[in-house]
Structure 1
Amino acid sequence: MQIKKTLLLGMGALMALGGQAQQTADYSIPRVTPFSGVNDYRTWSIGVWGGLSAPATPFGNNDFKRMGFDQLGAIYGISLKKQIYHGFGLQADVMRGQVKGHNKAGQDNWLALHDGDPLTFTFVRNFKTSIDLAASVSGVFTLGTINWLNRQATVLPYISAGGGYMRFHTQVGNTDDESVGYINARGDFDESKPDASTAFYIPVGIGAKFNVATGINLDLSYRTNFINHHFFDGVNGSGHQDKFSGVRIGLEFALGNRSKPQLAVVNAPAQLAMDLYERNQDLKRKIDQSNEENKQAIEGLRGQLEDAKKDSDGDGVADIFDKCPNTESGVRVDGAGCPLPQPKQIIKQEKVVVTQQDRKIVDEAIKDLEFDLGKATIRAASFPSLDRVAELLVNKHFSLKLAGHTDNTGSNTLNMRLSKERAESVKAYLVSKGANASRIEAVGYGSSQPIATNDTPEGRQQNRRVEFTLY
């Protein structure tokens, strides 16, 4: 029992020391968005550790009763952990080291020697088991990451349980110092070193991690290893399967992007509080900025009001109300500073009558109208007919619509442009002869309105035209 008390007291002292060191640490963890899943965290970590082992456990001892510090063995190993959730992860451990035990005189265990006939026996006072290699996978349950006094979880208590296999050699002796030989996998005595024994084992532990820096944890734990083997300690005096315990201290290092926090140590309420605090500070900054902008805007409005009291155009209406600034002197204005409307003059429009003779003149102009090939240049032969149309527009105040058309030769874009340019060319000529430009409308339709087939030269010739419509 003395060794158990010593191991537990030692573990408690290390935890207290880690807690005291944590109280003086001053650092912050990276900020993440709450409720965003585990992608914003580092979930992989690697650890190295070392510690002491003993054949005594809280669940009973093995076949060796005398306990003391001289019977403690050294164990060490590495671990790789994947954090699944805030409170649960999977950890793989690889371990090596020794487990030792000793009995007082008169409390020796007897061992059958199978190297003679009849069987002879010898007593075993001590054993030393060398663990060549032990590998296990355990589930690690974090008991709490909430710390209401700090912005991050500094102490993380946990429990773990798993399973694995170990390979070992067990050496026994019958005096305090002398070694008799080895125990093979069947429990038989062998003076020479036999092949290694293998056994399934279940590690069950309790511990705590101390977040000493961003991505670095101090790991303290106590584990009991239940071994599915009767001769781990060299003898089978108790008839029960063997077990041993160990105290471990190590360091765990988070892997991955350093800008992300470690999932296992994040204090979720603190993260939420940090997010709300930063949002509040950002809102406060925006309000302060808005207040400053409002002050500047108010000062600007005051200046504008002073300027608006002036009557710049002298029409009797202040600039602030004057919707028609710069009114000429002497003009009568309304309350908005705009000139009063003048009485409208009623203009009687004569009825426009298009005669048959008028249409004949237009038809002749259409018939005689010619352009240079692929251009909007009017040929001189068309001028006499166009002159008569211009005279008609001037004398009778007719309105005229000019609609340009082409065949389907060439692209639509080219045809639309050419038809528009030809109609505009006719309009420009008529205006040059005195016609009112506001009464002439020129549009282009390209090849969209054929009057004949485009499959023959004659049909295409008919489609290349400018139509005149009098009204």
Structure 2
Amino acid sequence: MNYSTLKKTAALSVAALLTAGMVSAQTTTTTTSADSTMSSGTTTAKVFGGRGQYKTFSIGVNAGVTSPFLAIGGTNEWTNADVSLGYGLSFRSQLAHSFGLQLDLHGGKVRAHNEDAAGNPTAFGNRAGYSTKFYSATLSGVVNVATIDYIRRKNAINFFITAGGGLSFYQPSVATSLADYNSGTYQFYRSDANGNPTSIGIPDATNKKRTVKELVIPIGVGVKFKLTDAVALNLGYTMNFLDGNNFDASYSAAKPQARDKYSYGYGGLEFTLGGKGKPNLDWVNPVAMMYDELYDETLRQEVAALKVRVTNVENAVNDLKKDSDGDGVSDQFDKCPNTPAGSVVDGSGCVLVINPIPPIPVPDPVIPYSNIQFEFDSSVLRTSSYPVLDATSADLRAKGATVQINGYASSEGTPAHNMSLSRDRANSVKTYLVNSGVAASNVKVKAYGETNPIADNSTEEGRVQNRRVSFIKK
């Protein structure tokens, strides 16, 4: 950047600041209040009213100088920086008072050269200087870390930090001799017609300037000055870390893992867009807003009314809790007031008559080898028979005894069918006992059909008793 360009940039910046100051003087109003603690200006925004009550979107323009060196230091393959111009455009959405997302579009050049111990430009090998033209697009988070609000308790200065990521597009070039550097002649990284890298040299019809695309991580700090509610002056410094080693046109074979970087110091104006009556979220002081809301007369009246309602509720609760006869039921629900002290009462406050608890029936004991009953024309065991079968199985296993299972049927059906049915019933019992651990050799089965009834087959009660299996222990 030459001296003439610097003068033009400074003149434009001063003119922009004067214009912003005039706009601020014409649009800013000050109100007075009997309470000196109230903030000046009027706003309808509430602490918990949401983002919709604020202006949150802004556009910024900036310009400044670039350098291959960083404020935090680090290694560099060049000894001296050449002042070069950088410029940018930003779009920011303020998500909260202290945080926003910002899209940055930047461009410019980064230049450097080598000097000897006496401070004279020189060439180290075939490197006298480099010049890289770049463009970048990044998305960053912007965090307001501190504010200065002065007397009016509305923020006037914000200090912020930024960090994000994006893509950088650049064209590196190098001056291979001191004469080339002094004359501004640079050899570019080049690519052929198919986009393949070729040798460094002057671009021609066959070999074009090569554009390198790499990841870039910007990390920066800055300060923002409020000119008006919608216009701010930004001053900042950003360090850009590239995921490559070509930006400075000097690849270090000794340190192939090294990554290039450059910095950008800038100043610019930011314009916040939105509804005319809405305040700018960037300058809101939530603590002051909450303080003002607590002193709002309408809120005080609402609090006073709420206290009255709470008192009424407390009195109603006390009335509900009143129990004159001490039986545990409040007077409003006591249907039998003045019950004697110590009486046991129900939910309505009346004396509770307690009936004696009937005795719990004791189940009949399980007797092993009892008859097993079956449903009509069925050989499926009833679940009610399992206790008797389990007791029988336990006794047989404990004593190693032998048992004969006799199957029977009622007189319905043919004799042949009833004989088969009685055998199936006996086998069902045997299967259960064997599955429970009784040796199969200790269980014998015999079918008797409808013979040997133990009840009258002419009645249903008798037929039910005859559908059975009995045991003979040996």
TM-score by length of 1: 0.48
Over alpha carbons, which structure has the higher Rg? 1
